[in-house]
Each structure stands twice: as structure tokens, then as C-alpha cells.
Amino acid sequence: MTTTGRIQTLRASERPATAWLNGGGVTREVAGFPAGAGLDGFEWRVSLADVATAGPFSPFPGIDRVITLVEGPGMVLTVDGAEHRIDTPYRPFAFLGDATTDCHLLAGPVVDFNVMTRRGKVTAEVTIVTSAPTSADVPPGGSVLAVCLAGSATIDVPSDTSGDTSGDTSGDASGDTAGTAAVTNLARYDAALLARPGPFRLQPDGITAVITFRPTA
């Protein structure tokens, strides 16, 4: 993990895999809030999962979920008896964690991208950004997580809103540039967390998921 100004960079290479109890796959947590919270205590949680076999999803009462296919031929989710075919990459699908959900793989393993938020605490807007540069803002009281799902991406923060830029600038996150207080470069599955209000710029060279978290109260 590298912190430069308002950007906290979370490298995929530093992310441990946790095996599912049923042996059907593994999950790698990208980020969560509060940091270090378990499954019963998070307000939001983002992860990537390698799904090897079909089977039921674990229930998450009080949790809203968004799942996005990243790799593989896809799956069919049966959510409270209704079938939903998830076979188009990078198309988010929202459903309730309370629902009885079963997964059928279409033709082999998949990798999916998961966003979970605790209902009544926080909401999440999942936007898939492709090749066009994007300018956006971290909302007051909220945060933004950008996860590179394919290719690479660059995120920079304007110098007049960054505040303290004395953080660690090791690795491939660079320090000051003209008009910019902090820059970070993301490879596939790397992520950048911005938790302080203010603008930022994203230049994807591939596909990046941008998740904007807002408190509900």
C-alpha cells in the first residue's frame, strides 16, 4: 500500500486470498470500511472472487450487493427464484444480499467483482469507465474507490485540493507534477482509494470501475 496526498494505492500483488468454507472459490478483499472490519461490521466492502464451482451464495442480511463479471464465460444467478444471466463482462448487476441466491456457471470458472454496502448506512454507485478521461469528485463525507479491471489507469489529484502531500511516494506513485499534487498508476486489479473530499481525474487505458460511496445520513 502506498499513500500519496489524497490517494491510497492498493496493489493486487499485496492482496491475500481467502478460501470459501464450501471450497467453491476464493475471495480477495480490495478494500473495506471501517478498515479491518469483519463481515458483521463493515459499512462497505469491495472484493474480487474466483468462482470455481456452482452453488449457493452466502446470505448477507441488510446488505445491498452489486456484482460484475470480469473474467470467464459467465453465470446464471437465481435470486429469490428469478433467473438472471450474467454473461456480459463489465455490466454491473444489483441485488439484495438478503435474497436466496444460487449460482450456476455457464461453462467454467469465472472472476467476479463485488461491491457490498450496509443498507441504511451507505450507498454505492458503480460506474464502468472505458477509454475516455473522466473528472469527478469525492463527495463530502464519502469516498471513491477506483479499481482497474482491464489494462491500466492513471489517477491524479489537482494540486490546489490535495492538502498534505508528504505521504510515501515509493513504488510507481509519483510526487508533484505541474498542476498536480499526486499521481498513481494502476495495473490490472490494482485500486486507488480517495477518502477526502475534492476533485480527481481518471485516465483509463482499458476498463476501470469507479465506486462512489455516500453516507445515507
Reported residue count of the chain is 217
Is pLDDT at 167 greater than 50 in this prediction?
Answer: no
Lowest mean per-residue pLDDT among 28-32, 38-42, 97-101? 38-42
CA distance 110 to 96: 21
Model confidence pLDDT, tens digit, residues 3-19? 666 889 999 999 999 88
Lowest mean per-residue pLDDT among 67-81, 89-103, 163-177, 196-210? 163-177
The residue to which cell 451464495 is assigned: 57
CA distance 134 to 10: 20
Mean pLDDT, to the nearest integer, of 140-149? 96
CA distance 217 to 166: 32
CA distance 48 to 128: 15
The residue to which cell 487505458 is assigned: 205
Model confidence pLDDT, tens digit, residues 117-139? 999 999 999 999 997 899 999 99
Residue 25: per-residue pLDDT:
82
Q: pLDDT > 90: what percent of the chain?
A: 68
Cell numbers for 144, please give them: 471513491
CA distance 194 to 39: 22
Domains of the chain: residue spans and CATH: 2-11+123-215 (2.60.120.10), 13-119 (2.60.120.10)
